[in-house]
Amino acid sequence: MRPPKRDELVREALKIFYREGFHATGMDRLAAETGISKTTMFRHFRTKEELILAVLRLRDEDFRNWLFRRMEEAGPPRAQILAMFDALGEWFASPEFRSCMFIKAASEYPEPQNPIHAQSAEHKRLLYRQLVKIVSAAGATDAEQLTRMLLLLKEGAIVTAHLGHEADPAGDARCAAETLLAAAEI
């Protein structure tokens, strides 16, 4: 059974926005590439920004589900933390990798009060909340600080992978994470 047009549009728009950017992709281009008419698009979304928000929500859900499933498969909390960097390495190696959609969205919509910027920031907050639980379960005495440091490594690895000037940014970040975990006696 085919997904409803709205869901199909959001999934296809995600691919196009991720590949091309938000400002660079107009509704005419979306219509041409998705095969969904602009009339149908505007029936589901009053504005391009509403479509972008739907795309970001889908990407958030898909990414967090994928990442945390990969981490859970690793076993105990310490292994889960390190598995985050292994998963990033897989993502970076995929031909579809085009950096972080949320970093890109926040860059294209830089005002913190903009709903697109806010949705991007919420994605990062949700990652933080989940990771702090794992870091706490691993026994960190200051789980919030350690989580912030681990997420800086994660974000730095994403940007470094996007720029392409290092051979293994996920591996480098994992090595730094191991140092942090050892210092925290985890």
- pLDDT classification of 97: cutoffs 50, 70, 90: very high
pTM of the model: 0.94
List the structure tokens of 110: 């830089």
List the structure tokens of 109: 């919509």
- pLDDT classification of 3: cutoffs 50, 70, 90: low
Measured CA to CA, the distance from residue 10 to residue 12 in angstroms comes to 6
pLDDT of residue 154: 98
pLDDT of residue 21: 97
Mean pLDDT lowest among 34-38, 139-143, 171-175? 34-38
The radius of gyration of the chain from alpha carbons, rounded to an integer in Å, stands at: 18
CB atoms within 10 A of CB 167: 7
Q: At residue 1, does pLDDT exceed 70?
A: no
Summarize pLDDT for 51-78 with one digit per residue, the tens.
999 999 999 999 999 999 999 999 999 9
Domain extents in the chain: 56-183
pLDDT of residue 87: 98
The arrangement of secondary structure in 56-183, i.e. its CATH architecture, is Orthogonal Bundle (1.10)
Summarize pLDDT for 22-45 with one digit per residue, the tens.
999 999 999 999 999 999 999 999
pLDDT of residue 165: 86
pLDDT of residue 5: 86
| Side-chain-side CA neighbours of residue 111 (13 Å) | 3
Helix 101-108 to helix 115-137 angle, to the nearest 10 degrees? 140
